[in-house]
Amino acid sequence: MRIIEAHIIKRFKIHLLFDNEVCGVVDFSDLAGHGVFKAWMEPGVFEKIVVTESGSLEWPGSLDLCPDSLYLRLTKKEPEEIFPLLKEALL
């Protein structure tokens, strides 16, 4: 699963489109200002988002988020719902 488009909606909110046509807005305001995400508090940094070739989101300073975690965040699904082999491994 990969992100194919990402558009800033407003500060800390991004509309994502995945390669399986699932789309929606993800709110990152709960991360902003914490740990490595402190960089987003600097003016203009959050807006410098790039969708990488691997379908991740990336910001300056090598800050990136994988598409799997963003898909889970968007859909509010559990990992086992999306990755059936994970469920089998946990049994």
Number of compact structural domains in the chain: 1
Domain range enclosing 26: 3-90
CATH number of the domain enclosing 61: 3.30.2020.10
Residues 69/18, Cβ–Cβ less than 8 Å: no
CA distance 60 to 66: 15
What would the pLDDT profile of 34-50 be if each residue is shown by its tens digit? Answer: 999 999 999 999 999 99
Q: According to the model, what pLDDT value does residue 62 have?
A: 87
Phi–psi pair at 42, nearest 5 degrees: -70, 135
Kindly give the pairing relationship between strand 13-18 and strand 3-10.
antiparallel
What's the distance, Cα to Cα, between the start and end of the chain in Å? 24
Q: What is the mean pLDDT of the chain?
A: 92
Q: Assess whether pLDDT exceeds 80 at residue 4.
A: yes
Q: According to the model, what pLDDT value does residue 58 have?
A: 96
What would the pLDDT profile of 56-68 be if each residue is shown by its tens digit? Answer: 999 998 899 999 9
Q: Assess whether pLDDT exceeds 70 at residue 87.
A: no
Query: How large is the average pLDDT for residues 1-21?
Result: 96
Residue type, 3: I
